Structure 1
């Protein structure tokens, strides 16, 4: 068990949990454990106000340990995964709290293959936080990585058959959540011929993820409908996830995206093995629909790191999460929102129909998510009273649904997911379970 690392790196309030002092110690622990002497590290960040402060602390610690640091600036998280391999660097670091509010920030770490670090590596880093960390006799160089965003955009365009994918005539509303996809995503879609209506595309770290982006689709729905656009595309603050909407209000989540991609590849005999990797939160309806088409669903714990590692272990090409993290392993070992969007548009172009039409073919079970804010979500999850409520809910659902109770890996809350074939039954059980857990949390 780690003190700082959660589901997706380190995350917390900037200048409270995530202080320059902690980040400086972290950088030296990284240098003394997982990066070879004289190695190179690429650092990217999103638009948060605290980003430059934490970038300076990271750079100082790494350079003092003799490592060269390349600053990629404001850039999507998956771009760092690409740049590590393109630059043959030893490590990549992203300063971002992903979909969290502006006052938070975080640290994500990627190895030389562009993959997120394993839990074992994170434990090793934490165990070295207290030092000692000898100062290197030689100081590393800190430099700016030129044209990082341009190179990443070229990689995205090269991931599809752009000569035969023409989006001319399509209108796309693109919501960048005031985050790091803003300088890149609209350009990529325009390059493919689409008319782009950008919203929340200013680089504003005080507004990142606030009432916008993949965590709040209300304005995207409204503007997509008002303009009669073909599709609305929403990214989160660091660009590792994406959600889609059509002008009628229909939403395409990560589960349906995986279904579209996997079934299309299977039809063309390109899905080998015939399987995807999803998480415990992915919809049972997707699983049933894919199994009818001879495609297995392998499940992991929540977090695209777990999905990616299972995909690599088993040679599976498509994986992801309902939240919009989707991995096309032939192109990237991590969730990439822009890449996912362009790959899905390529698939729709191949089939000669729009994405909502393809997505509507996948029937999902009613699913309800609730959050219990509490000081100790891990303790609440295993509390005998909570376990009793969980068993009651599972008994009420029988074989027609599922209940998942899990502590958030990024925020102080216990997450509830209820899934059932019958929507009213799903709502009833969710309300009962939530009320019971809220009562336990208040008592404690």
Structure 2
């Protein structure tokens, strides 16, 4: 099945509005059956690990997936609310054939999603997802086990403790967080118990918010996409650092002691320079997506390091890291992959790498997390009703003209959204006025080619 034929799987699994196709119980059941058939190979007893975040709809999707896998002859290990990286870790440590995370990451509670991990703890490839989707579209009668071969479901009670110990092991030996006051915002999500515990056990004074999930409040005015409350509390409590995780805790943003928000590019810059100085950085550089700021690329060049860019999606970052032998990669949005410590983005592990540097340098976060001055960057979303506006001659000419005007002073990135009928227009340059004018000009040309009124574009 070609990538273009995929309908259910997007850039990060399956996602949609809960209790509406494809994020309904019927699809989850069928996915369990199809994925069970795909991974149920060989004579050993097959096992799948299922975790989730704190959304109400997890109570619907978890048993539906469990029924599908059990019916396909796979044993199911349920671990309850845990971060996405914990599911990747447990899939490997339990020698499972498959890991499943039920989460829509930073989206509101109305949405949910399903992410799949292979036995190596890596997200499935486009080709693997395509094969599973093809199985879902066919006759699954052959996937159903005989009564004697049905699977069993059990709950792993010590799963949180296993993840906590693994995260603590990523923190430099001999160092402690004693004397640091840290505010952590868990977004009422999957890390609401484990994140404060890790920081406290490493010696920090911990102030926790976003740790009272009720099924509805995940990411609501909190977490990595809304760090305003965290920033205010960091200033109020005179904390040394603020950590904001998203709903499944696979990404983060930080807040320094002044209340300034720090994105994934600055986090990558700090870790890269620290690891390079210690001889720990492999591959001669860092992997990031096309969205990362040009300032990061120039900063790395001053250190003799290369920035390798991929298309948007932490899965593609991970694939490029393995291809290039790199052990550090991530996204501007806060996904940071540290392959020495895990197979996927882990907001808590990334935060500990930053804290390790702060402890070693004994300097405030505001100094250490301002590695470079980012170039002005603007992103505009242009909605279109159909067709292929990026192939329109007017759009092609406008893009070429903008690139010629920028030259080496910046860059233009225009791409379709993978989940919505949107064209994303990003311009980055050394002059703010140029960024604003080029973004407006390109958005207008695309809007005209798309025959969509100006009011339909969202910034």
- Range into which the TM-score falls when normalised by the shorter chain: over 0.9
Q: What displacement does 1:343 show?
A: 1.5
Deviation at 1:219, TM superposition (A): 1.4
CA positional deviation for 1:439: 4.8
In the superposition, the TM-score normalised over structure 1's length comes to 0.95
Distance in 2 between residues matched to 1:302 and 1:120, nearest whole Å: 18
- Residues 392-403 of structure 1: pairs in structure 2 closer than 5 A: 392-403=401-412
Q: Which residue of 2 aligns with 1:93?
A: 100
Q: Give 1:339's aligned residue.
A: 349
2:123 is matched with 116
The answer (yes or no) to whether the contact 1:252–1:356 under 8 Å persists in 2 is no
Instruction: Name 1:155's counterpart in structure 2.
Output: 166
Partners of 1:35 and 1:91 within 8 A in 2: no
Alignment of 1:234-313 (within 5 A): 234-313=244-323
User: How far apart are 1:171 and its partner, in Å?
Assistant: 1.5
* Counterparts of residues 108-147 of structure 1 (less than 5 Å): 108-133=115-140, 134=142, 135-137=144-146, 138-147=149-158
1:359 to 339, 356, 369: 369
Say whether 1:14 aligns with 2:28: no
Report if aligned partners of 2:264, 2:332 keep a CA contact under 8 Å in 1: yes
- Answer with 434-443 or 107-116: which moved more: 434-443
Q: Judging changes above 3 Å, is the alpha-carbon distance between structure 1 residues 150 and 247 closer, same or farther for their aligned structure 2 residues?
A: same
CA contact (8 A) 1:220 1:234 kept: yes
Q: Which of 408, 420, 423 is the aligned partner of 1:414?
A: 423
Residues in 2 aligned to 1:407 and 1:305: alpha-carbon distance in whole angstroms:
18
Task: Give 1:35 deviation, angstroms.
Answer: 3.8
Q: 1:180 to 1:391 in 2, by over 3 A?
A: same
Instruction: For 2:229 and 2:392, locate their aligned partners in 1 and report how far apart those are by CA, in whole Å.
Output: 39
Name the SS for the 2:379 alignment partner: strand
Mapped contact 1:179–1:204 kept (Cα < 8 A):
no
Deviation at 1:249, TM superposition (A): 3.4
The within-5 A match list for 1:35-50 is 35-36=40-41, 38-50=45-57
What's the CA shift for 1:170?
A: 1.5
Partner of 1:434: 443
Change in CA separation of 1:381 and 1:191 when aligned onto 2, cut-off 3 Å: farther
C-alpha separation in 1, matches of 2:362 and 2:257 = 19
Q: Hey, what's the Cα distance between the residues in 2 that align with 1:185 and 1:142? A: 27
Q: Give the deviation of 1:86 after TM superposition.
A: 1.1
C-alpha contact 1:386 1:437 (8 A) present in aligned 2: yes
Structure-1 residue corresponding to 2:457: none
Question: RMSD over aligned Cα, in angstroms?
Answer: 1.9
Residue 381 of structure 1: how far off its partner (Å): 4.3
What residue number does 2:89 align with? 82
8 Å Cα contact 1:179/1:238 also seen in 2: yes
1:344-388 deviation digits (Å, cap 9, x = unpaired): 111222233233312213222111222234565x84444544444
Q: 2:182 aligns with which of 159, 166, 172?
A: 172
Instruction: Give the Cα–Cα distance (whole angstroms) in 2 for the partners of residues 117 and 44 of structure 1.
Output: 16
Within 2, Cα distance between the matches of 1:63 and 1:49?
Answer: 23
Q: CA deviation at 1:197?
A: 1.5
Q: Which runs of 5+ in 2 are unaligned?
A: 454-459
Which digits, 9 at most, give the CA deviation of each residue in 1:308-341, with x for residues without a partner? 1111122111111111000111111110001100
- Paired residue for 1:28? 33
> After the TM superposition, which residues 175-194 of structure 1 pair with which residues of structure 2 at under 5 Å, given as runs?
175-194=185-204
Structure 1 moving runs of 4+ over 6 Å: none
Deviations 1:132-168 (A, max 9, x none): 2222011100111221111101110111135x22222
